[in-house]
Structure 1
Amino acid sequence: MTNNSIGKNNLPSVAFISIHPAPYRNATLSKIHQRNNFKLQVWTMFQEDAGHSYWDLEQEDYPTINLGRSFGIKGCYFHADIIISLIRESFDVLLVPGYSHLSTLAALVYCKIIGKPFIYSADTVPSLGDRQLKNPIRDSITNWIINNASAFWVPGKASKLFFLEKGVNPSKIFEGCYCLDSNQIISSNIDARSSRNDLRESVGIPSNSFMYLMVGNMIANRQHRRLVSSFKNVESNNKNAFLVLLGNGPERANIEAEIKKHDCSNIRLVDSVNYNHLANWYAASDAYVHSGNEPYSTALEYAAKAGLPIITTAGVGASLDYVSQNTSGYILKSGDNDIFSKTMLNLSLNPVLALMMGRNAQEAALKRDPEFAATQFEKAVTYAIECAKQ
């Protein structure tokens, strides 16, 4: 691929280090490329996310460079080709993600040596619950990044709050780095409505029941087992309430054991599906639930854009962007099984309220579309370039 330079058409050139293609990033990168306000070049570390190999995404339609083979251990990789790209490809601003640390650290050091501005993108959020163990090396690197980044591009309000607490100037922080294609979600869900009852029937859920959905790899921090425990009281008081847990992962066997322990007859476990088939399950649902903790949750974002009311915890970063308390859903205290159970039961007994909340969720969620994310990123690039001139 030929080098980009700032000279042609006076457009700045932006190199974007991407861990892997993802549904929460591809639509925004396509939008940025289409708008052509600068020359975008995406450097991809991995061709797919090993944890979401079932996504089965379409080919990207923005310019990419594959960084090739890597070595290292999980979560800490080095790609030799990143050095080649840093030296060979001309760029005015570099976006650096907060993962695959050896490769990204090499990029950060290079920017510092040659004086290029960089935008740091991460989904880090303020610590909840137990205090995080101190790690002097990690903390030193984080502080260095905070002091040297020209701008920050984060998923939403929760990550913005983290960097504000670290003393970052709010004018340097921009949102939208995780953003699903709103139009595609709406279109897919409209198409999927026709098979809503058939899909329910395939897992033994009546068409007139109230169905909750939770989507995601089954890992400990999402606290599926706590949700199972909470749901026992829901189904005991409303035989018409059902819960579908869609996904696979290391916690699956423990979840199955928890279902058996509580003798829950209205919970269904469904294997992971590729991204294009998610619409079928969201369209078949009446509400979305997330019982655990994680920095963001694009599954929750999908639910809001699909028009579902949401019950979640304060430990899910995306809740700050997509849930308005008592208007589009409920943000509950993490770990409180009783309030979680009561809230799920009450909503399952009030489907009219659920429909109204779902409409409210969708109306608010559609403001955070790829157009919004692309605009935020362009502002981050402009800010970084202006900082470099000072």
Structure 2
Amino acid sequence: MFGYRVPAPDEAMLISGGRSKGDAPFRVVTGHGAYITPLFRKVRFLTLAMCEAEVEETCVTQQGISLNVRAVIAFKVGNDTESIISAGQRFLSDQDQMSVLTGRIFAGHLRSIIGSMTVEQIIKERQKLATEVLDGSKEEMVKIGLTVDALQIQSIDDGSLGYIRAMSAPHNAAIQQQAQIAQARANQAAAEAEQESQRNQAQYARQTAIVQAQYKAEVDKAQAEAAQAGPLAQAQAQREVLAMQTELAQRAAELRQQELVSEVVKPAEADAERVRILAVAEAEKMKIQAEAAASHNRVALDRLLIDQLPEIVRQAAQGLSGANLTVLNGADGLSEIATGLVGQGLAIYDSLRDSLGQHEPTEEATDRGELNPRPAPGEDL
């Protein structure tokens, strides 16, 4: 459109010739366009891009030592309207003067700051020097509408005085000493490694010689053994046959001993054990019968005899049955014979009772667990 102007992204458009807001001498437009009335308005553009200024200045330190300092400053016009107006009023017609003026401002502050410091401080605290120079020049830069983004001190030297070199001499000496020590250690390590390598080679040579000697000795021994293999093998075979025959004889003897034990000793031991067991059983039986007999009272003994009385009479009758007897008085005679048999049975019964009664325990002895013989007939109690 005719009369419509638009500034670049890194430019500020300054419009003069008309009224502006406030006390501003001209109108500032950034980031968008504006309509310009021909003949009544005038338009100029101020750069907002980054600019660079270099400073090479000879400064005297607190110690009176001259130092050549080189620094680089990165700056630009401020983005606010007040900064653009201040920079436009000073640099719009010759914008290259911004770099020149900025360099002079920083050179002055650089001389002032370095004059209050020693060489050692400047060398060791270079960042502190840059910060103090920035802080000292910030106010002046704001007045002319400029802002500083960075200050970089590139180099500091004393020309041909050699002061800085003398400062570094102790450090260089220490570094060189450490380097020499490190080199000496490296040389020593290399020499030790070489010596170790030589020792290893000598050891390897010795071991090789030993191995070769052992190998030769083994070869000679093998050859000698091979030469004697026939007789030695035969003798060894005979020894092995004798050893096997001796072992077989020992095994046969052991087997025969086992057979004898199985055929003679074991059966004898079995018979002896059987006899011993029977004897023990018989003794136990007699003991039990004795204890049983001792434990029975008189009534049980009489009962036993009474129960056996018929058998006694019967046996007596059988004895008479084989005898040649003549009965003269008939039935009376038979009655007398029967009566006699019964009487004999009773007599036998009394005799057995008296005989067994001599070994019957008394009641008191039974209570105490003792066995006392019964007194025989006619003895005093």
Common fold: TM-score over 0.5:
no
Higher gyration radius (CA): 2
**TM norm structure 2:** 0.17
- Structure with bigger helix share is 2
**TM norm structure 1:** 0.17
Bigger relative CO (Cα 8 Å, ≥ 6 apart): 1
